Amino acid sequence: MAGNRKNELRALFSGNVAPGASVADPVDNAPAAAPQASKPVAANTPSADVPRAASGAIKAMGLSLGSITREAEEARSLREALHQGERVVELDPDLIDASFVGDRLTDGEIDDPEFLALADSIRDSGQQSPILVRPHPQVKGRYQTAYGHRRLNAVRSLGIKVKAIVRALTDDELVLAQGKENAERRNLSFIERAMFASALADRGFDRKVIGEALAVQKSELSRLLQVAEGVPPAIARAIGPAPKVGRERWMAFGALLEDMATVELAQEECRTRRFLEAESDHRFQIVFARLSRKPKVESTRPDVLVDAGGRAFAKIRRDGKTVRIEFSADVDPAFIEEAVELLARQHAAFVSGRKD
């Protein structure tokens, strides 16, 4: 029975349903099974499509479990869509725009191996899960993506049509669907969630909606927005998602960017060759280390006081606004006492003269 469901699912998404086959028509004959709880259509995850190296029974078991989990997820999403009278259609990717608010800091086609694995999987096995789009609210005949951006980009790179479910969505419903997909599939990194939250806040979304989209409590949302405020978007985009860098280090990083001078220093580091050739986590470390490095204080040579015979008896050291007089060890203590008293009298006379 499981085998039949698997074949039916593949046939439905591949579009190769023969006349009289057991797969129901998506519009007219929705399945009688009760709908599951609302859940976005699952994406093809690279971890399922490109399993880790294994051998024998362990490898076979891993492949089977990954396949079963993915197919069960897709079946639930499909049943819900069919129950709502929706159908999977094929659209030209060039007619589909991204969501009005971005949530990724990576150009997958360049620096994300998982994206490349996803594209390979779709090329070999077809697009197994449809994306969710809505009719574009401003441009007639175009669509806007709610979730499935990575699948859309992968399909676009292959030059084929994308399988999609078209649903009328409000702005709130779109960002909730977008955030829910991220929570259930490939999670956003901390800085991606911070920038996503900030982008939604800038567009006037209520904090309750932002918290629900990211599945975070008020306190965590406040920290996300705090980091987004401290880290300029250009620097965050240059570094990328940095998936291994957590909240504490990003907060420390934001604290280092306290003025324009340090921001310019970070931007300068982002243009170096070693930064551009590094992967995202290492990029973060490169800039963090540069900003954490204490600037070298140029030490000025002390002024040397000499007696009539040319022998040094004291040095005057200037360190910023601080000035120190250091007497040589062989100087008579009585002279030092006399010099201190003379210095005090001269200072009093100097201050008095300025008041006059």
Q: Are 185 and 150 in contact (CB under 8 A)?
A: no
Model confidence at 44: pLDDT above 50: no
In this prediction, residues 308-322 reach a mean pLDDT of 84
Indicate the fold that domain 188-295 takes in CATH: Arc Repressor Mutant, subunit A (1.10.10)
Q: Which residue has the tokens 């904090």?
A: 207
Q: Are 238 and 283 in contact (CB under 8 A)?
A: yes
- Rounded Cα–Cα distance for residues 165 and 79 (Å): 12
Q: Are 169 and 84 in contact (CB under 8 A)?
A: no
Model confidence at 201: pLDDT above 70: yes
Model confidence at 21: pLDDT above 80: no
Model confidence at 147: pLDDT above 50: yes
CA nearest 41: which of 11, 8, 7, 13?
Answer: 13
Lookup: tokens for 177: 């669907």
Q: What is the largest CA-CA distance in the chain?
A: 116
- Rounded Cα–Cα distance for residues 303 and 236 (Å): 47
In terms of Cβ atoms closer than 10 Å to its own Cβ (0-12, 13-18, 19+), residue 274 is: exposed
Contacts of 199 (CB under 8 A, 6+ apart): 101, 102, 103
Q: Which helix (H) or strand (E) holds 119?
A: helix 113-125
- Rounded Cα–Cα distance for residues 91 and 142 (Å): 10
With bands split at pLDDT 50, 70 and 90, how would you rate the model's confidence at 272? very high
Model confidence at 303: pLDDT above 70: yes
- Tell me which amino acid residue 283 is: R
- Rounded Cα–Cα distance for residues 302 and 96 (Å): 70
- Rounded Cα–Cα distance for residues 173 and 209 (Å): 9
Model confidence at 317: pLDDT above 70: yes
With bands split at pLDDT 50, 70 and 90, how would you rate the model's confidence at 299? low
Q: What is the CATH number of domain 25-186?
A: 3.90.1530.10
3-class DSSP state for residue 354? helix
Model confidence at 273: pLDDT above 50: yes
Lookup: tokens for 292: 């954490």
**What angle do the packed helices 218-230 and 247-256 form, to 10 degrees?**
40
Model confidence at 284: pLDDT above 90: yes
Residue 270: the pLDDT is: 93
- Rounded Cα–Cα distance for residues 334 and 84 (Å): 100
- Rounded Cα–Cα distance for residues 41 and 148 (Å): 8
- Tell me which amino acid residue 180 is: K
CA nearest 70: which of 113, 26, 129, 127?
Answer: 129
- Rounded Cα–Cα distance for residues 281 and 286 (Å): 9
Residue with the bigger pLDDT between 114 and 306: it is 306
With bands split at pLDDT 50, 70 and 90, how would you rate the model's confidence at 4? low
Model confidence at 48: pLDDT above 50: no
- Identity of the highest mean pLDDT range in 117-131, 207-221, 278-292, 321-335: 278-292
CA nearest 187: which of 216, 218, 226?
Answer: 216
Residue spans of the domains in the chain: they are: 25-186, 188-295, 299-326
**Residue % of the chain over a pLDDT of 70:** 67
With bands split at pLDDT 50, 70 and 90, how would you rate the model's confidence at 79? low
